[in-house]
Amino acid sequence: MNCKACCRIFVLTSTLSTLLVAGCASVTDQPFTAYAPQEKLHLKVGVNVTDELLKAENAKWHIPIGTSIATNVPVLARRMFDQVADMSNGHPPANETMAAVLTPKVAYITRTVGATAGGESIVDIKVEWTLTDPEGNTIWVNTIDGRSSASTRTNPKKVSRKALEDVLLKSQQAISSAPAIRQFAQKKSS
């Protein structure tokens, strides 16, 4: 076999193995729970899971991140706030009033794959968080970036899960330390 044929076989084999490893990268629906301990904010918050969030995914890499975030947002909120109610598309549960509504939105999700099976694969997730009062006035908004990287040989679910965990931990820090949220909570508890 000549050198050109060997190179073609190598490139074809590398490409096929990359595509096999890069297949569906769905993230598990098990909620992340390893948050940093913190004192809860004294605020009743509605966690607003929208249809837009549930449908959020990276179609090219088949990463349905929206459902994973929707599973994790109530867990995250219950770690940060005294009282949490689950909402769907802005509708609070019957006979419940909230002091504020927390709405996540997937702003961006992408995955890069290295040129070879040993190359680096990166998953990057950006979530926009908005906290509003019951009238819809914005109290706080921030976009948080979560990222993970590993060899392209690594199971894509693990890389995506690590990026999700990164964005959740950074979100906890951003939400719990936001002066606007702390001031609002203090005003509501007075």
DSSP 136: -
| Single pTM value for the model | 0.82
Query: Helix, strand or coil for residue 179?
Result: helix
Domain coordinates in residue numbering, the chain: 39-189
Span 142-173, pLDDT tens digits = 999 999 998 888 888 888 899 999 999 999 99
Instruction: Look at residue 1 in the predicted model and tell me its pLDDT.
Output: 54
Separation between Cα atoms, residue 39 and residue 21, nearest integer Å = 41
Separation between Cα atoms, residue 120 and residue 152, nearest integer Å = 6
Q: What is the CA angle 144-149-152, rounded to 5?
A: 140
Separation between Cα atoms, residue 88 and residue 94, nearest integer Å = 12
Ranking 41-55, 56-70, 158-172, 173-187 by mean pLDDT, the lowest is 56-70
CB distance 171 to 27 below 8 Å: no
Q: What is the 3-state secondary structure (H, E, C) of 40-85?
A: CEEEEEEEEECHHHHHCCECCCCECHHHHHHHHHHHHHHHHEEEEE
Separation between Cα atoms, residue 172 and residue 137, nearest integer Å = 22
CATH number of 39-189: 3.40.50.10610
Instruction: Look at residue 179 in the predicted model and tell me its pLDDT.
Output: 97
Beta-carbon-side half-sphere exposure of residue 166 (alpha carbons within 13 Å): 17
Task: Dig out the tokens for 80 from the structure.
Answer: 């940060």
Separation between Cα atoms, residue 109 and residue 65, nearest integer Å = 8
Span 79-102, pLDDT tens digits = 999 999 999 999 988 888 999 999
